[in-house]
Amino acid sequence: MNKEISELRQDPVSGDWVIISTGRAKRPESFKSRHVAASETPINLCPFENPQEHGNTIIKTYGAGDHGWAVQAVKNKFPIVSGENCGFEKRIGPYAKNDAAGHHEVVIFKDHRKSLAQLKTADVGLITGVFKERYLELEKLPCVNYILIMLNHGREAGASISHPHAQIMALPFTPSDIRRSLEGSKKYQAERGRCVHCDILAWELKEKKRIVFENDYFAALVPYAPKFSYEVRIFPKKHSSYFEEVGGNELNNFAEALRVSLAKIYNGLNNPSYNFFIHTPPVERDHEYDYYHWHLEINPRLGVWGGFELGTGGDVIDVDPDEAAEFLRSIKI
Ligand SMILES: [Zn+2]
Ligand SMILES: [Zn+2]
C-alpha cells in the first residue's frame, strides 16, 4: 500500500472502519526511548514553542496581545487522515477499503507547563471557542462525515509531545464508539419517547450522589456504569444535540465545567494521564440526530490495559462510582 496516504479499511463483521496509517511510523517522536516520558519534553526542544519555526502550517492564531499568541490552530505535520479524495470505495473479496481523506489539526496552547487544569476559565473558554470555530469551518469541507475533538494528556494517554495541545480530526466515517452511542440513544428515544441523556441528568441532579460539579448550563458527573475509574462526563443540562450549536454564554460555562473537572482530577489523583473527547453527532445534514445529546468524556488512564480491558473495552472499575464522585467533589481546586 501507498505509505504516504492512510487507508480506511472496514471490518466486514462489525462494520467498523479503521485507519491504517503506516506513514506515521516515521514521525520522529516514535524513535525516542519509551523511557522518555512525554512530560519531560525539554522546552528548548519543544516544537510547539514556535510552531511556525518548526515547519507547522498555521491555520489561525488566537488571542494575540502582549504575549504574542494564546492559542494556535496548525495543520498536523503527521496527519492520520489527509486530502479530499474520497468516495471511491473499493472491494477486495470480503473487504471494503477507501482512502483515508480528511483533515487533522492541532490546537496548541501557549504555556509549555500549564495543562488545562492550571489555566483560568477565560483561557479554557478561548480554547473551547476555537474548538467550535474550527468545527464550523471543517464541516463545510468535502468528505467530512465526523469531526472528532480530543486531547491526550500524559504518556499513558498517548501524548507524544508534552506541550499542552488538543487535536481535531475531520474524518470521512463515523467512529464505532460514536455509532454505538448514537444507536443506543436512538433506540431509547424510539422506545420511551425521551432522550436517555436527559433522563440520566434528571436522575443524577436529583440524587446528587455522582455529580462532581455543576453550574447554570452544565453538569459534570461520574457515570453510573463508567468505562474508566474516576471517569467524568460533562453534559449540557438542557437538551442540546450538537456541540457546534453551543452559545457564547454556555461555552463559558462549558469551559468552567471542563477546567474544574480536570483540576479535580489533577489535584486529587496526582496529575494522571487522561484522554478527553467530545461526543457529538456526525456533521449535521437534516436534523437527523435531534435525539442525541452531546457531551464530553474524560477518561483517566490510571492502569495499563491487559487482555480483559482490551477484550471488553474498559477498565475493571476498582472504585465505586459514588465514592469516586464524592472524592472528586471534595478536592479543592
Ligand atoms: Zn513547549
Ligand atoms: Zn437530552
Residues 158 and 193 in one domain: no
> Which bound ligand lies closest to the C-alpha atom of 293?
2
Number of other residues whose CB lies within 10 A of the CB of residue 89 = 11
Residues 322 and 226 in one domain: yes
Q: How far is the CA of 333 from the centre of ligand 2 (A)?
A: 29
The pLDDT, as a whole number, for residue 37 is: 45
128 by Cβ neighbours in 10 Å (0-12 / 13-18 / 19+) ranks as buried
Q: How far is the CA of 111 from the centre of ligand 1 (A)?
A: 7
Q: Is residue 37 part of a domain?
A: yes
Q: How far is the CA of 148 from the centre of ligand 2 (A)?
A: 20
Q: Predicted confidence band at 14 (pLDDT cuts at 50, 70, 90)?
A: confident
Residues 199 and 72 in one domain: no
* pLDDT for residue 28 is more than 60: no
Residue 34: give the domain boundaries: 7-175
Could you tell me if 211 and 246 are in contact, meaning their C-beta atoms sit under 8 angstroms apart? no
Residues 192 and 309 in one domain: yes
Q: How far is the CA of 128 from the centre of ligand 1 (A)?
A: 20
Residues 168 and 185 in one domain: no
Set of cell numbers at residue 1: 500500500
Q: How far is the CA of 126 from the centre of ligand 1 (A)?
A: 19
Number of other residues whose CB lies within 10 A of the CB of residue 145 = 18
The pLDDT, as a whole number, for residue 35 is: 42
Residues 170 and 275 in one domain: no
Q: How far is the CA of 224 from the centre of ligand 2 (A)?
A: 17
Chosen domain end from 123, 141, 175 = 175
> Which bound ligand lies closest to the C-alpha atom of 42?
1
> Which bound ligand lies closest to the C-alpha atom of 51?
1
Between CA 295 and CA 243 the distance in angstroms is: 8
Q: How far is the CA of 241 from the centre of ligand 2 (A)?
A: 7
Q: Is residue 159 part of a domain?
A: yes
Q: Predicted confidence band at 240 (pLDDT cuts at 50, 70, 90)?
A: very high
What's the chain's length in residues?
333
Chosen domain end from 131, 158, 175 = 175
Between CA 194 and CA 214 the distance in angstroms is: 23
Between CA 261 and CA 244 the distance in angstroms is: 21
> Which bound ligand lies closest to the C-alpha atom of 72?
1
> Which bound ligand lies closest to the C-alpha atom of 50?
1
Q: Considering only CA atoms, give the Rg of the chain.
A: 20
Residues 151 and 181 in one domain: no
DSSP label at residue 1:
-
Q: Name, in order, each residue with C-beta under 8 angstroms of 134's C-beta and a sequence gap of 6 or more.
A: 59, 73, 105, 107, 168
Between CA 300 and CA 322 the distance in angstroms is: 16
Q: How far is the CA of 172 from the centre of ligand 2 (A)?
A: 26
Q: Predicted confidence band at 94 (pLDDT cuts at 50, 70, 90)?
A: very high
Q: Predicted confidence band at 87 (pLDDT cuts at 50, 70, 90)?
A: confident
Q: Is residue 1 part of a domain?
A: no
Q: How far is the CA of 285 from the centre of ligand 2 (A)?
A: 19
The pLDDT, as a whole number, for residue 203 is: 96
Q: How far is the CA of 257 from the centre of ligand 1 (A)?
A: 25
Q: How far is the CA of 51 from the centre of ligand 1 (A)?
A: 9
Residues 166 and 306 in one domain: no
pLDDT in tens, 269-325: 999 999 999 999 999 778 899 999 999 999 999 988 888 888 887 777 888 999 999
Q: How far is the CA of 62 from the centre of ligand 1 (A)?
A: 17
Mean pLDDT, the chain, as a whole number? 89
Could you tell me if 172 and 102 are in contact, meaning their C-beta atoms sit under 8 angstroms apart? yes
Residues 211 and 146 in one domain: no
The pLDDT, as a whole number, for residue 67 is: 62
> Which bound ligand lies closest to the C-alpha atom of 49?
1
Share of the chain residues as helix, strand and coil, in percent rounded to the nearest 5:
30, 25, 45
* pLDDT for residue 231 is more than 60: yes
User: Cα–Cα–Cα angle for 225, 230, 233, nearest 5°?
Assistant: 65
The pLDDT, as a whole number, for residue 65 is: 62
Q: How far is the CA of 58 from the centre of ligand 1 (A)?
A: 16
Do β-strands 71-75 and 103-109 pair in parallel, antiparallel, or remain unpaired? antiparallel
The pLDDT, as a whole number, for residue 331 is: 96
Q: How far is the CA of 24 from the centre of ligand 1 (A)?
A: 21
Find, among 51, 217, 53, 218, the residue nearest to 61 by Cα: 51
The pLDDT, as a whole number, for residue 36 is: 41
Q: How far is the CA of 283 from the centre of ligand 1 (A)?
A: 32
Q: Is residue 2 part of a domain?
A: no
* Per-residue CA distances from 16 to 10, 97, 306 (Å): 6, 11, 22
Chosen domain end from 175, 210, 229 = 175
pLDDT in tens, 123-174: 999 999 999 999 999 999 988 999 999 999 998 999 989 999 999 999 999 9
Could you tell me if 283 and 145 are in contact, meaning their C-beta atoms sit under 8 angstroms apart? yes
Set of cell numbers at residue 147: 469531526
Residues 256 and 294 in one domain: yes
> Which bound ligand lies closest to the C-alpha atom of 194?
2
* pLDDT for residue 256 is more than 60: yes
Q: How far is the CA of 152 from the centre of ligand 1 (A)?
A: 15
Find, among 135, 70, 125, the residue nearest to 105 by Cα: 135
Between CA 322 and CA 96 the distance in angstroms is: 44
pTM, rounded to two decimals: 0.91
* pLDDT for residue 330 is more than 90: yes
Q: Predicted confidence band at 31 (pLDDT cuts at 50, 70, 90)?
A: very low
Residue 56: give its domain's CATH number. 3.30.428.10
Residues 81 and 187 in one domain: no
Q: How far is CA 130 from the centre of its chain?
A: 14
- Which one-letter amino acid corresponds to residue 216? D
How many domains does one find in the chain? 2
The pLDDT, as a whole number, for residue 2 is: 52
The pLDDT, as a whole number, for residue 83 is: 86
